[in-house]
């Protein structure tokens, strides 16, 4: 981790076919637009997001989910086969791609703002 609290993200597992090379974690821009003040009191402020997938991307880890498969027909080489309803477990591992958290650069900016406002008061 560097001085500014940032670390280079891992590359994509599968390179994007888009010739414009969109950024990692940006497809619709929803996550980027969702960052705002989530809690605020007289003494502290919490900056965060309410997007459900934000935590798994920021912290990394393994995500497990069960999926319901409805009964359906499947076309095979021998004809049509009936598939019964069942559930299956899916597991996905997400690398840590920290996009929000402690930052030395942000701490310095905040300290300057606090000092500036305190000087204006006194």
- Find the length of the chain: 122
Assigned domain for 117 exists: yes
Quote the domain boundaries for residue 91.
30-121
Assigned domain for 85 exists: yes
Number of domains forming the structure of the chain: 1
Assigned domain for 48 exists: yes
Assigned domain for 7 exists: no
Q: Say if residue 5's pLDDT is above 70.
A: no
The pLDDT tens digits of the residues spanning 76-103 come to 999 999 999 999 999 989 888 888 877 7
Half-sphere exposure of 83 (CA within 13 A, CB side): 12
Please return the burial class of 113, using the count of CB atoms within 10 Å of its CB with bins 0-12, 13-18 and 19+: exposed
pLDDT band at 2 (very low <50, low <70, confident <90, very high): very low
Q: What is the pLDDT of residue 6?
A: 67
Half-sphere exposure of 88 (CA within 13 A, CB side): 6
Assigned domain for 80 exists: yes
The pLDDT tens digits of the residues spanning 10-62 come to 777 777 666 567 777 777 889 888 988 888 888 888 888 999 889 888 888 99
Assigned domain for 17 exists: no
Assigned domain for 14 exists: no
Assigned domain for 15 exists: no
Q: What is the pLDDT of residue 100?
A: 82
């Amino acid at each position: 981790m560097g001085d500014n609290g940032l670390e280079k993200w891992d590359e994509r597992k599968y390179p994007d076919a888009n010739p414009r090379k969109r950024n990692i974690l940006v497809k619709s821009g929803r996550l980027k637009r969702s960052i705002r003040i989530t809690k605020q009191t007289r003494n502290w402020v919490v900056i965060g997001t309410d997007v459900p997938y934000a935590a798994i991307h920021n912290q990394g880890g393994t995500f497990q989910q069960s999926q319901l498969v409805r009964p359906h027909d499947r076309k095979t080489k021998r004809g049509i086969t009936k598939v019964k309803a069942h559930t299956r477990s899916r597991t996905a591992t997400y690398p840590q791609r920290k996009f929000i958290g402690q930052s030395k650069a942000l701490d310095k900016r905040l300290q300057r703002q606090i000092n500036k406002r305190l000087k204006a008061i006194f």
